[in-house]
Chains A and B, each alone.
Chain A
Amino acid sequence: EAGVAQSPRYKIIEKRQSVAFWCNPISGHATLYWYQQILGQGPKLLIQFQNNGVVDDSQLPKDRFSAERLKGVDSTLKIQPAKLEDSAVYLCASRAYAGNTIYFGEGSWLTVV
């Protein structure tokens, strides 16, 4: 079974530029998550989708971050404009509707300079 796919793996941008991350969850998984993990900390939930609807985006900085999952499968996370403090790993994860286990991708590493 293929895992959660993310791209790009690494990205370096200058502050005020924009960046987009893509995620393809495990086939059939209805729930998709985006987490932000700053170095030395645990992952922080940014947004949770159930199919193509948003379940929770309370910790998403909506003035600069946006995410969509238009067809209930792939998802993109965009940051515009980026700030230095956005340097982190952005982890996508998915979960089957009736499952307890959340499966994570390898993450997209963002460095803002």
Chain B
Amino acid sequence: SQQGEEDPQALSIQEGENATMNCSYKTSINNLQWYRQNSGRGLVHLILIRSNEREKHSGRLRVTLDTSKKSSSLLITASRAADTASYFCATPPPGYSSASKIIFGSGTRLSIRP
């Protein structure tokens, strides 16, 4: 069963702009992860945020988590052509606390225009 759902489904921005993607989920979680998938490739882990964290940074990535709203956002600053990819949020299934089992949303397809 699907837990997280990304919004928007597709996003096209100019190179250098910031890109924001959102993920909403249905039941309480204790961690949430974001993955990137370049076209025709496997998924690459970007960042994990725990329920007791509100914000986390990794390079040009900033992830926030609002457990009261059951939502997370992924911000990519100063976007580059290489950021063109699909981005997925992933959460444990309902009733599961570990990060060892995750369910993916449908993803946001990000396109960076040169």
Residues of A at the B interface (CB closer than 8 Å) are 4, 31, 40-45, 48, 55-56, 91, 93, 95, 100-107
Contact = CB atoms under 8 A, between A and B. Distances in A.
Nearest to B41: A106
A42 B104 contact: yes
A42 B42 contact: no
Interface stretch (B11-19, B43-51, B58-66, B67-75): B43-51
A100 B99 contact: yes
B106 interface: yes
Contact of B101 (A41, A44, A48): A48
Interface size of B as a range: 20 to 34
A93 B33 CA distance: 15
By secondary structure, the B interface counts as loop
A57 B41 CA distance: 24
Nearest to B33: A100
A43 B104 contact: yes
Nearest to B104: A42
Contact of B100 (A31, A40, A104, A107): A31
Give 3 closest A-B pairs by Cβ, nearest first.
A42-B104, A104-B42, A100-B99
A101 to B, nearest CB: 5
B101 A101 contact: no
